[in-house]
Amino acid sequence: LTSSGEAHMVSVTLKSDTSRRAIAIGHVAFSNSETLLAVKNALIKKGDVLGTARLAGIMAAKNCPALIPLCHPILITAVNVDVRLVEPTAKTGDHGGVEVEAEVQCTGKTGVEMEALTSVTGALLTVIDMVKAVDKGTRMTDVRMVLKEGGRSGRWVDAAWENKSN
Amino acid sequence: LTSSGEAHMVSVTLKSDTSRRAIAIGHVAFSNSETLLAVKNALIKKGDVLGTARLAGIMAAKNCPALIPLCHPILITAVNVDVRLVEPTAKTGDHGGVEVEAEVQCTGKTGVEMEALTSVTGALLTVIDMVKAVDKGTRMTDVRMVLKEGGRSGRWVDAAWENKSN
Amino acid sequence: LTSSGEAHMVSVTLKSDTSRRAIAIGHVAFSNSETLLAVKNALIKKGDVLGTARLAGIMAAKNCPALIPLCHPILITAVNVDVRLVEPTAKTGDHGGVEVEAEVQCTGKTGVEMEALTSVTGALLTVIDMVKAVDKGTRMTDVRMVLKEGGRSGRWVDAAWENKSN
Amino acid sequence: LTSSGEAHMVSVTLKSDTSRRAIAIGHVAFSNSETLLAVKNALIKKGDVLGTARLAGIMAAKNCPALIPLCHPILITAVNVDVRLVEPTAKTGDHGGVEVEAEVQCTGKTGVEMEALTSVTGALLTVIDMVKAVDKGTRMTDVRMVLKEGGRSGRWVDAAWENKSN
Amino acid sequence: LTSSGEAHMVSVTLKSDTSRRAIAIGHVAFSNSETLLAVKNALIKKGDVLGTARLAGIMAAKNCPALIPLCHPILITAVNVDVRLVEPTAKTGDHGGVEVEAEVQCTGKTGVEMEALTSVTGALLTVIDMVKAVDKGTRMTDVRMVLKEGGRSGRWVDAAWENKSN
Amino acid sequence: LTSSGEAHMVSVTLKSDTSRRAIAIGHVAFSNSETLLAVKNALIKKGDVLGTARLAGIMAAKNCPALIPLCHPILITAVNVDVRLVEPTAKTGDHGGVEVEAEVQCTGKTGVEMEALTSVTGALLTVIDMVKAVDKGTRMTDVRMVLKEGGRSGRWVDAAWENKSN
């Protein structure tokens, strides 16, 4: 038995504590035209879709080290989750859906990319949970990191996203 | 203040305990051609990508009620998570990626769709975590339920997925 | 060493599975007159106080067995948390506050009184967290069970609460 | 959709790491005269009430960020929970009850007020759980922060509590 | 890629709900003669060793599905944890130690062996934590299941343990 | 009521943040000769024993403050868990078993001994869970800390273990 390929939590012991930030985005695409209307008109039986998804996203960021086996625990210092209903677009397809953007900050030895991605995912899963009684075909799509700042590797940004944001 | 639109955990008290099953799928698309090779050749620094993702998916199914605010706690009776490396396809794009399929079973008053979706998502986030040192542009895509059995509403299946599986 | 007085989770193995329900209530009393206005006018920096407290209450009900050492795990089948701003009253004192009522249901071998009380408490703590930047003297008061149904001991209700509710 | 009123975890990224301390107190009031005697004489079926409540309070402090949606995770450096049976007083009413005082310390970017309050509440809920077989009318009352030290806003103390403690 | 050897949560969907019970035992052996005296005389700085270990054992039983990746979640109906200081014996060696016995019950589709073992382990780790300031060489030893009842495979008992218990 | 012997989380507020490291080891002893063969030949129904145990050990290290009541939360910076099948030896007895060694690092105010011990225990319990269908008599044995570095008390090492490792 060799140790090659064996899972482990890589050491960040020697890294320095710096301010770090990450932003991730993602989408839910509805599969029929009534879902968007039902959310807009507050007709979803489970209640407020966007507000519940936002809080789920915030709390998911804190649950990241419990979900992702090799993630380091980290002290998050800020979480912003933006949850928006969107009309039909290239991303969400013919029936519109929901767009989520999550920003997470920390001061620590490792980045918060996974926290931002887990936050987006928690918010999107919550949207699916809330609309699934009226839309079983909802899908989560295009979830990814778009910005990462701080740490030795410096700033990384998705150019397309940055252009669109400006 | 009215109660319309207020979030709540809907009552399943009067539903009967029946066997239920759900399957969900999802994908990770790599953003450069070295990632697929690195995973194949066990060159990822954090270790075994597919095995770690599989276990993360199983444990994520158990974490579902902690992540999704309005989900009912439920006694899962089985979880199977299939994690496969895939060559470039329509789903994963030009650089290939990973395909995950999770099946969850329970006997209870409510279904396991969200458990299956959370399982897929937990596995995919873990893949992203493990390859992010070599591929910051990885994206999660096309995560959705494809089968649901048991309970009052009966069987529901995504026809395209069923044809492909057969 | 005798076993008298030693903590243990009492056995409910031989109890039968029945529908059970519990309602608990509780209050937060603000300590200055600006707090009520700030919540009413959505001027609290952390955001939506009542909606956040409601979700915190729902999720707290699920966390009950993790918080209360000798509580049995249980499958909650419904949670409703009502969170209301209240003008100055006997309960909340001169500056008004928030009133929370949580109803929890289950089908199982033991009741959901502690789940209802934990739900109320989680919602009230969240209110305190959100207003503490403007009101350090906020206090939680009169948290108690008011109704319990199902199980061998049958129905129990707080008469004063029942009269007021009708 | 505007962002006003939307819940978020406020940024403490730019705050400095300092020693912080908070003390919170709270009470349980029994509803009949036998409860106090039963606890005193170790006749409670679930076992040692005060010791179990103390540990529940300590562990609750660690669970604070999981319970309170917008709380930052923090590294607690000390927790002391004092749990005392009390004879009938103004706070606990005609049948006596339990008084809890919890002190929490940390070194970090944000205070531990919510940790202290969650600690008190966890201890009090545990008391209620242990005596509820003999006292369904037990109520939690007057839970509040009494001291806060460290951080930019400096020392804050409840004068009445400080006088009584001295 | 074949599925042989891949981890999964085996299906218990078709098993019937029956009463199940398991008992596990385990020991901590102190490495110097002062430790036993210090525990006996309540000189341990962290406080009450046996009471804290007992509660840790009870709570650990509830945490089992979060710790053991392939364990099914289960509704525990009773937990008894017996924690005893022991004089030097064959099991604990020359300096004595602590003996823990945990009994867990449930009604469900799968047994509670792992819950009983996790309970014993949680209690023993807590003993080690509390004495480690005075005894770094403490070791946990001979942790095992001794009884299992209920379910298709019926009763299993460790004969040596049963003889000693009678 | 005096406070002597009452459990509390001791204060580490005034300790300085330093790099710390701990290593713990432990063993599982199989009770029949087929178990070792079954694991070697990947015939265990639940799947990959060693890989699952390794991940369970890593995740258990993160769960330490939730399991051990008086442990301080800490930011782990690295976890390595080595899980090896072993032929019959003095430690594992006539039928061989599994040997686990876990190393945990942090930068903080308190050590990671309990994290290392919890990691070892989580891995060993997982081994027992996976083989228990074929070996009910498996036992966990000789779990202990062997190295501790950093902090005021400096380096501590088990001489026998160090000699064997070199």
Do C13 and E82 make contact, defined as CB atoms within 8 angstroms? no
Per-residue confidence (pLDDT) for residue C1, from 0 to 100: 32
Do A62 and D73 make contact, defined as CB atoms within 8 angstroms? yes
Q: Give yes or no for residue F94 having a pLDDT over 70.
A: yes
The mean pLDDT value for E140-144 works out to 97
Mutate to test the interface with D, among A50, A77, A81 (most CBs of D within 10 A): A77
Answer whether C126 touches A (CB < 8 Å): no
The mean pLDDT value for B55-70 works out to 98
Neighbours of A49 (CB within 10 A): 25
Determine which one of C48, C129, C135, C158 is catalytic. Answer: C129
Taking chain D (166 residues) in consecutive chunks of 10 residues, what is each chunk's mean pLDDT?
Answer: 70 95 98 94 92 97 98 97 92 92 97 98 98 96 97 92 88
ipTM of this predicted structure: 0.96
Cα–chain-centroid distance for residue F99? 10
Spatial distance between the Cα atoms of E47 and C100, rounded to a whole number of angstroms: 37
Spatial distance between the Cα atoms of E101 and A137, rounded to a whole number of angstroms: 50
Per-residue confidence (pLDDT) for residue E108, from 0 to 100: 95
Neighbours of E40 (CB within 10 A): 12
Which tens digit of pLDDT belongs to each residue from D42-62?
899 999 999 999 999 999 999
Name every chain A residue with its beta carbon within 8 A of the beta carbon of F79: 8-9
Per-residue confidence (pLDDT) for residue C4, from 0 to 100: 52
Which tens digit of pLDDT belongs to each residue from B93-118?
899 999 999 999 999 999 999 999 99
Mutate to test the interface with A, among C48, C54, C55 (most CBs of A within 10 A): C55
Percent of chain A having pLDDT more than 90? Answer: 88
Inter-residue contact D122 to D59 (CB < 8 Å): yes
F142 catalytic? Reply is no
Which tens digit of pLDDT belongs to each residue from D26-39?
999 999 999 999 99
Residue with the bigger pLDDT between A90 and B158: it is B158
Q: Give yes or no for residue E2 having a pLDDT over 60.
A: no
Nearest one of C92, C111, C113 to C28, comparing CA atoms: C92
Q: Integer distance in angstroms from the first to the last C-alpha of chain F?
A: 53
Cα–chain-centroid distance for residue C112? 11
Portion 50-79 of D in contact with A at CB < 8 A: 65-66, 69-70, 72-75
Determine which one of A17, A48, A82, A129 is catalytic. Answer: A129
Spatial distance between the Cα atoms of F18 and F43, rounded to a whole number of angstroms: 45
Per-residue confidence (pLDDT) for residue A132, from 0 to 100: 96
* Residue D107 parent element (H or E): strand D97-108
Nearest one of C56, B6, C59, B113 to A45, comparing CA atoms: B6
Q: Give yes or no for residue C26 having a pLDDT over 80.
A: yes
The mean pLDDT value for E90-110 works out to 94
> Taking the alpha carbons of F87, F91, F97, F103 in that order, is the dihedral positive or negative?
negative
Which tens digit of pLDDT belongs to each residue from A62-109?
999 999 999 999 999 999 999 999 999 888 889 999 999 999 999 999
Per-residue confidence (pLDDT) for residue A4, from 0 to 100: 52
What is the band of F92 on the pLDDT scale with cuts at 50, 70, 90?
confident
Percent of chain C having pLDDT more than 90? Answer: 87
Per-residue confidence (pLDDT) for residue A92, from 0 to 100: 85
Portion 10-29 of C in contact with B at CB < 8 A: 19
CA-based nearest residue in chain C for residue B6: C51
Inter-residue contact D35 to D126 (CB < 8 Å): no
Which tens digit of pLDDT belongs to each residue from C77-98?
999 999 999 999 888 889 999 9
Answer whether F5 touches D (CB < 8 Å): no
Average pLDDT, rounded, for chain E: 94
Spatial distance between the Cα atoms of F17 and A17, rounded to a whole number of angstroms: 12
Spatial distance between the Cα atoms of C71 and E103, rounded to a whole number of angstroms: 16
Q: Give yes or no for residue A124 having a pLDDT over 50.
A: yes
Least confident segment among B123-137, E50-64, E114-128, F80-94:
F80-94
What is the band of C153 on the pLDDT scale with cuts at 50, 70, 90?
confident
Nearest one of F13, E111, E131, B7 to A54, comparing CA atoms: B7
Spatial distance between the Cα atoms of E61 and D151, rounded to a whole number of angstroms: 39
What is the band of B71 on the pLDDT scale with cuts at 50, 70, 90?
very high
Q: pTM, whole model, 2 decimals? A: 0.96
What is the band of F1 on the pLDDT scale with cuts at 50, 70, 90?
very low
Q: Where are the alpha helices (DSSP H) in B23-151?
A: 33-40, 49-67, 113-131
Q: Give yes or no for residue A3 having a pLDDT over 80.
A: no
Which tens digit of pLDDT belongs to each residue from B78-97?
999 999 999 998 888 899 99
Mutate to test the interface with C, among B6, B17, B106 (most CBs of C within 10 A): B6
**Which amino acid is located at F27 in the chain?**
H
Label residue E13 exposed, middle or buried (CB < 10 Å: 0-12, 13-18, 19+): middle
Do F48 and B48 make contact, defined as CB atoms within 8 angstroms? no
Q: Give yes or no for residue B9 having a pLDDT over 90.
A: yes
Between the alpha carbon of residue D92 and those of residues A74, B41, B87, D127, D152, the distances in Å are 41, 68, 69, 14, 35
Q: Give yes or no for residue B2 having a pLDDT over 90.
A: no
Spatial distance between the Cα atoms of D83 and D52, rounded to a whole number of angstroms: 10
Average pLDDT, rounded, for chain D: 94
The mean pLDDT value for C13-30 works out to 96
Name every chain A residue with its beta carbon within 8 A of the beta carbon of C55: 51-52, 55
Average pLDDT, rounded, for chain C: 94
Per-residue confidence (pLDDT) for residue A165, from 0 to 100: 80
Percent of chain F having pLDDT more than 70? Answer: 98
Per-residue confidence (pLDDT) for residue D4, from 0 to 100: 52
Name every chain C residue with its beta carbon within 8 A of the beta carbon of D63: 63, 66-67
Least confident segment among A1-5, D14-18, D30-34, F61-65:
A1-5
Spatial distance between the Cα atoms of A10 and B5, rounded to a whole number of angstroms: 45
Per-residue confidence (pLDDT) for residue F93, from 0 to 100: 87
**Which amino acid is located at C6 in the chain?**
E
The mean pLDDT value for F70-75 works out to 97
Which tens digit of pLDDT belongs to each residue from A27-46?
999 999 999 999 999 899 99
Neighbours of F18 (CB within 10 A): 15
